[in-house]
Structure 1
Amino acid sequence: MKRLQKLNRIYWIYGGVMGLLMITLQVIHYKTMIRDIEIELYGGIIGLLFLLFGIWLGTSLYRKKSADKYDRNKLGLSKRELEVLELLAQGLSNQEIADKLFVSLNTAKTHISSIYSKLNVKRRTQAIQKARDMALILPQKE
């Protein structure tokens, strides 16, 4: 529902900007006929308007998502799986993870296997890298 509202808002903004642009172009066209402004100035103004509109549209549509806005539940990782992922990133073995979380080794392995399938990876290092890229875990301090 929010996405639909956001799209509607974008459409209204886009339509409004295009309407204002058309009005501006008509006013400029009218003034060129009345005052006999040279055609180069007319083309330059049109070009400048489209340049500014393109910059605005590009920055608003392709703005990179920040780590704060990332939805962790998009992948369906549980809180426990996120904890396990943090411990994996710290370099702990399966047994150390199990001991730290007070679960059996089998349970830890099950969580790790579930993480691998949700992240669509096959190895521990791939899971850690992908989780860092997706801002699920913080980058390692050096």
Structure 2
Amino acid sequence: MWRTVAIYGLILALGAVGLQWLEYQTFARAHPGAIYLTLGGAAMLALGVWVGAQVFRPKITGVFEPNLKAQASLGITSREFEVLGLLAAGCSNKDIARRLDLSPNTVKTHVARLYEKLEAQRRTEAVLRARELHLIP
């Protein structure tokens, strides 16, 4: 039974492909200019995307090295530095607490101290300031 169904399905699929091919042939004869313009436009689009990707590709020169002098001058501890990295990754206080095996209140304290040390009032401001100082990538 499955063999019969598969044979009928194959015959119907071939028939559909044949009808589509005939319809394409009719369209191609009636509108050859539109087909050539479409193919040319698609080629130009692909070329533009490729050139854009080549021109605007970020230049990676090596591994990111954090500015340890700025970290020391601001008095940012290693634990606060870990919290800052997770803040930059977009983690919530609960996520940071889970990842670093800390209590949420301890994370809040670290975040508050980072705000003071980076002279920021919000997370985004703290992350932006840390990036400006090359503390995080």
Task: List structure 1 runs of 4+ shifted beyond 3 angstroms.
Answer: 66-71
Question: Which blocks of at least 5 consecutive residues in structure 2 are unaligned?
Answer: 1-64
2-side partners of 1:109 and 1:119: how far apart?
A: 15
Counterpart in the other structure of 2:81: 82
1-side partners of 2:98 and 2:125: how far apart?
A: 23
CA deviations over 1:118-141 (Å, ceiling 9, x no partner)? 011100000000000000001xxx
Q: Percent identity?
A: 45
RMSD between aligned alpha carbons? Answer: 1.8
Q: Secondary structure at the match of 1:115?
A: helix
1-side partners of 2:83 and 2:77: how far apart?
A: 10
Answering whether residue 101 of structure 2 is matched by residue 102 of structure 1, we say yes
- Equivalences for residues 1-142 of structure 1 within 5 A: 70-138=69-137
CA deviations over 1:58-112 (Å, ceiling 9, x no partner)? xxxxxxxx96574420000000000000000000000000000000000000000
Q: Secondary structure at the match of 2:76?
A: coil
Q: Secondary structure at the match of 1:116?
A: helix
1-side partners of 2:78 and 2:68: how far apart?
A: 17
Q: Which amino acid in 1 is paired with 2:81?
A: L
Q: Secondary structure at the match of 1:83?
A: helix
2-side partners of 1:78 and 1:97: how far apart?
A: 16
What is the TM-score when the length of structure 1 is the normalising length?
0.48
Higher relative contact order (CA 8 A, sep 6+): 2
Q: Secondary structure at the match of 1:136?
A: coil
Q: Give yes or no for contact 2:67–2:135 (8 Å, CA) kept in 1.
A: no
What is the TM-score when the length of structure 2 is the normalising length?
0.50
Q: Secondary structure at the match of 1:87?
A: helix
**Highest Rg: 1 or 2?**
2
Q: Give yes or no for contact 2:68–2:135 (8 Å, CA) kept in 1.
A: no
Q: Are the structure 2 counterparts of residues 68 and 102 from structure 1 closer, same or farther at C-alpha, using a change threshold of 3 Å?
A: closer
2-side partners of 1:108 and 1:119: how far apart?
A: 16
Query: How many equivalent pairs are there?
Result: 73
2-side partners of 1:67 and 1:120: how far apart?
A: 19
